[in-house]
Structure 1
Amino acid sequence: MAKAQFDRNEVIENAIRLFWQHGYSASSMQQVVKTTGLQPGSIYLAFKNKEGLYREALDTYAANSKKRIRTALEGPDGMLKGICTVLESMIEQSTQEDYNSCFLIKTQLELAAEGNSLHELASEKLDEIEALFRSYLEQEFDTETARKRAASIMVHIFGLRVYGYKAEAAERMRESLRQGLPWLPWNHTSRQA
């Protein structure tokens, strides 16, 4: 049998957009076919099934998220200001008309009752993001403080991702971050981050 010829990265990026917007359960195989441009046989050959494609979409989304976080934390302003930049960026995203929250968090919420492998994968990826923050914080703080602060960052990220879907909520979110994470250098953060 001949191997399918397509741009795997493009297919995964298109799948991310579909699944991110509609979720796993509400994305029909017909929508997957239309969005990816692949025939069902090619999807099954390359990804085994819709769940396999969804898993790769989650993996790719998480890898891209971790890369953006690393870039901010390793930026010229330093790690702590980088954390502020990451959080401010999330506030700015939440004010966009086409805002879609976080793919990992949405997956976790959608599939929580089912407790299936996709829910577990989304949880693992969120744990990896927390571990990434913790590893950087350990450069500045003791292990226990870094652990607690990384967990606090994640709690705030979860809140940001589900709290605001309109521009009016942005300032309330900023105030809440400053109140909940007072150890970060907020006065140096640009609103245009």
Structure 2
Amino acid sequence: MARTASYDRDTALDAAMTLFWVNGYHATSLKDLEQALQMRPGSIYAAFHSKEALFHATIDRYAARMAANLQTMIDETPSPIAALQSHLRDLADIAPCDRPSTACMLVKSLLEVSSGNALREVILGHLDRIEGLLTRAVSRAIELGEIPTSSDPSRIARRLQTYIFGLKIQAQRETDPGRMRDLCTDLAEEIGRLRRTA
């Protein structure tokens, strides 16, 4: 008879994700994971196989949530450009109390994991998927006639992704909520200027 797992996988992954997000991959020790997950080393390895595999799972979890939230917002707003503007404006409300860090876990991890490491390819793959989602939103805006057909969806998506991740990093250092709101509004208005004027 198979043994029933004595841990909740979702709870364990969320705890590990928070730890990796705050400390980074290399600075997170097995002892840290034991305490955060409330699991013994043998149980951690039995459940997740290795620290690297656990980190991989948390990165997948983080990226899936980010993509789902962005996709939902785009799908629920008739105007793709308005949805993207709204997302940029909403980044003004990021606060450390809402999450382990205002900075994006994908970006923090990319800066830490060295070239040639398999984990780096995982992170880059997730960033590519987010960019693809943004590209599809811009392409839809072109199809709906919101922005000119001469617009380059991929180029605009790269700019949007830079804005989104840049604002998350800025939120890490900005202490004045008004200045943060102004910055988010400025970038949202810039995207709004892509709309047809005629």
Give unpaired runs (5+ residues) of structure 1.
186-193
Deviation at 1:43, TM superposition (A): 1.1
Q: Distance in 2 between matches of 1:138 and 1:82?
A: 13
Taking only the aligned residue pairs, the percentage that are identical comes to 26
2:163 is matched with: 156
Deviation at 1:116, TM superposition (A): 1.1
SS of aligned partner of 1:27: coil
CA displacement, residues 42-89 of structure 1 (integer Å, 9 cap, x when unaligned): 111111111111000000100000110011111245321111122222
Give unpaired runs (5+ residues) of structure 2.
143-148
CA displacement, residues 19-48 of structure 1 (integer Å, 9 cap, x when unaligned): 101110111110101101111111111111
Q: Distance in 2 between matches of 1:181 and 1:34?
A: 44
1:140 is matched with: 141
Tell me: CA distance 1:57–1:184, structure 2 relative to 1, closer, same or farther (3 Å): farther
1:108 is matched with: 110
Deviation at 1:158, TM superposition (A): 2.5
Counterpart of 1:156, as a letter, is: Y
2:49 is matched with: 48
Tell me: CA distance 1:82–1:10, structure 2 relative to 1, closer, same or farther (3 Å): same
Counterpart of 1:170, as a letter, is: M
TM-score when scaled to structure 1?
0.84
SS of aligned partner of 2:94: helix
Deviation at 1:178, TM superposition (A): 4.3
Q: Distance in 2 between matches of 1:178 and 1:88?
A: 6
Instruction: Write the mapping of 1:6-155 to structure 2, written as runs, cut at 5 A.
Output: 6-94=7-95, 99-111=101-113, 113-141=114-142, 142=149, 145-155=152-162
Deviation at 1:173, TM superposition (A): 2.2
Of structures 1 and 2, the larger Rg is shown by 2
Deviation at 1:117, TM superposition (A): 1.5
Q: What number of residue pairs does the alignment pair up?
A: 184
TM-score when scaled to structure 2?
0.82
Tell me: CA distance 1:92–1:184, structure 2 relative to 1, closer, same or farther (3 Å): farther
